[in-house]
Amino acid sequence: MNLKTGVAVLLIALGIVVLAYSGVVFTTPGKSVRFLGLEIATTETHFIPPVVGALALVAGVVVLLIKPQSS
């Protein structure tokens, strides 16, 4: 399996996962806040909408179907 096929399969797989879960929500650590001697940890929530999954799926299929140009 070459690099092009690997990238295409990865895009297709990620697109299917995002579409199957109707979007993906994940959190990342945010900035810590110090208030009156207490340190409060915060998190940021991120959402990947289903349309991004659909675009990744289509892009993966397109990359898989494109044939290399012969020179």
Rounded CA separation 10/34 (Å): 41
Question: Over the chain, what is the mean pLDDT?
Answer: 90
Residue 13 has pLDDT above 90, yes or no: yes
User: What number of CA atoms fall less than 13 Å from residue 43's CA on the CB side?
Assistant: 6
Look at residue 67 in the predicted model and tell me its pLDDT.
Answer: 79
Residue 17: other Cβ atoms inside 10 A: 14
Look at residue 71 in the predicted model and tell me its pLDDT.
Answer: 58
Residue 41 has pLDDT above 80, yes or no: yes
Q: What is the mean pLDDT of residues 52-57?
A: 95
Residue 68 has pLDDT above 80, yes or no: no
